[in-house]
Copies of this chain bind each other. A is one copy, B any other.
Amino acid sequence: MFSKACEYGIKATIYIAVRSNEDKRVSLKGIANHIDSPEAFTAKILQMLARENIILSVRGINGGFEIEKSRLEHIKLADIVKAIDGDNIYKGCGLGLSECNELHPCPVHFEFKKVRDDLRELLETTNLKSLAMDVSSGVSFLRI
């Protein structure tokens, strides 16, 4: 469904959100440990997210990653997915035709489109704050 990079990106961002909500900044090492991801690879993904202004990175001692608290509920899962995997999952044809086009549909188009639109809806409406709250309260988990 999502690439590994995107999975790590989502989990990392949620973890940063959890800690930012407690006014804590978190280091790469802390992130990689909490989401159980390869550290150096995670660094690359965090760089992408920082360049896209989804997270904020701070260099030097006591540096790390954070997200402005007030933005938490405005950042959607879709922002992260789009930054890492692009929007093919929303827009692309499920059978790989060059474009998904109602007027030239592939055999699964009409059924597939529903599922894809539900996924898009999910990603576009789910915000970081609620995801972070669930993790904080032990309702959901980022690893194992």
Contacts and interface: CB of A to CB of B under 8 A. Distances in A.
A112 B118 CA distance: 10
Interface residues of A, number: 39
Given A1-B89, A118-B114, A141 B94 contact: no
A18 B135 CA distance: 49
A66 to B, nearest CB: 19
Contacts of A143: 97
Nearest to A14: B107
Interface string A45-84: 0000000000000000000000000000000010000000
A33 interface: no
Contacts of A95: 2, 7, 10-11
A141 B106 contact: yes
23 contacts: A1-B89, A1-B94, A2-B95, A2-B96, A4-B96, A7-B94, A7-B95, A7-B96, A10-B95, A11-B107, A97-B144, A98-B144, A104-B141, A105-B139, A106-B142, A107-B134, A111-B122, A112-B122, A114-B122, A115-B115, A115-B118, A115-B119, A115-B122
Given A2-B94, A107-B140, 7 more contacts: A1-B94, A7-B94, A97-B144, A106-B142, A108-B131, A115-B118, A118-B118
